[in-house]
Amino acid sequence: MNKTSAKLSPRYSAGSNRDLKELYRQMRRVRTFEERVGELFVRGQSAGSMLHLSIGEESAAVGVCAAMREGDTFTTHHRGHGIFLSRGADPNKMMAEIGGKETGYCMGKGGSMHIADMGLGHLGANAIVGGGIPVVVGAGLAAKRAKNAKVSVAFFGDGAMQQGILYEAMNMAALWELPVMFVCINNQYGMGTRIDQATRATELHERALAFGLNGVSVDGLDVGIVQEAAQDLFDKARAGKPGFLAVSCYRFYGHARMDKSPYRSEEEESKGRKKDPVLFSRDQLMEGGETSDVLDAMDSEISQEMDAALDFAVSSNPPPLSAMFRDVYGPLEPEPEPLRTRIARILARD
């Protein structure tokens, strides 16, 4: 049994366990999906050379998304797979997109770091550190004018805490009283730089307080606490008081899939991986009377779901060459002629 306890924010004494089984199921889905994504990369079947896993951060994605409503919008960062999955994404289409296949959300042209789907409120993932943050200010302004009680959420890592655009966005959101949430998933490292080597001010939520936002930091070990804190902040954001939530986690693996994290000792990694939100929630369920057989059956079902997603991605076709300019130009604009087609046409004249 995982004996690690969750360090609580003084404002949140306990997380609600009434939905813990569903929260555990969603975290297990995120964990298993990410494991299959890693396998896809190792097999050389993912698109591009960079891939960032969110294993160890599942409580941040699931806990915050559980507090969101239908119609809320969001942006994600390098490690956005789990967030999108928690908002109802189809794992088949997600895996296919990561594999660069035409059956993916963006026909394989977005890949791991540029998935988007307006239908689910996903305004886009961004490989630029902090790049998705200002987008939610615009979305929040639109929601305020429409008076539709929707909130727009920016998910980003602790590496973005040193980006000026974050502070401009927080200032504007507070000044205009926008329904916006800033969620920092603090996995302790911005690439290879530990958070306490990047800033002296490691209580990240305190920076938001200076701009007039509601700010809270919580330990991400207990997904129930994350959900409770997020729900409180979301309720206030819908009333025009934007919020900032910092969720402390530990990134189990390196910055990218190929990163062996030489900047961390084996002892540190071993200690950090004991802060496992998935195992912590499983222990909570069993202490509450759930049986291991029931949870094992759930885990097995999820494994089958994600195995199927992996098979779907591998068996799907890459996008055809004719799709190169699709979604780049307006529907009434003539598409440019691909260079190879132009060369072939010119050579055919001789």
Measured distance CA(236)–CA(198) in Å, rounded? 31
Six token digits for residue 253: 């693996």
Measured distance CA(73)–CA(143) in Å, rounded? 10
Task: Find the length of the chain.
Answer: 350
Six token digits for residue 199: 């800033």
Portion of the chain with pLDDT greater than 90, in percent: 71
Task: Give me the pLDDT at residue 205, please.
Answer: 93
Element holding 182 (H helix, E strand): strand 180-186
Three-class DSSP category at 153? strand
Spatial neighbors of 135 by CB under 8 A, at least 6 apart, are 75, 123, 124, 152, 154
Six token digits for residue 327: 């979604």
Measured distance CA(270)–CA(11) in Å, rounded? 30
Measured distance CA(174)–CA(166) in Å, rounded? 12
Highest mean pLDDT of the ranges 256-260, 327-331, 344-348: 344-348
Measured distance CA(20)–CA(284) in Å, rounded? 8
Domain 20-348 CATH superfamily: Thiamin diphosphate (ThDP)-binding fold, Pyr/PP domains (3.40.50.970)
Residue 18 banded pLDDT, cuts 50, 70, 90: low
| 223 pLDDT above the threshold of 90 | yes
70-89 pLDDT, tens digit per residue, is: 999 999 998 999 999 999 99
Q: How, if at all, do strands 189-190 and 193-194 pair?
A: antiparallel
What pTM did the predictor assign?
0.89
Measured distance CA(235)–CA(55) in Å, rounded? 28
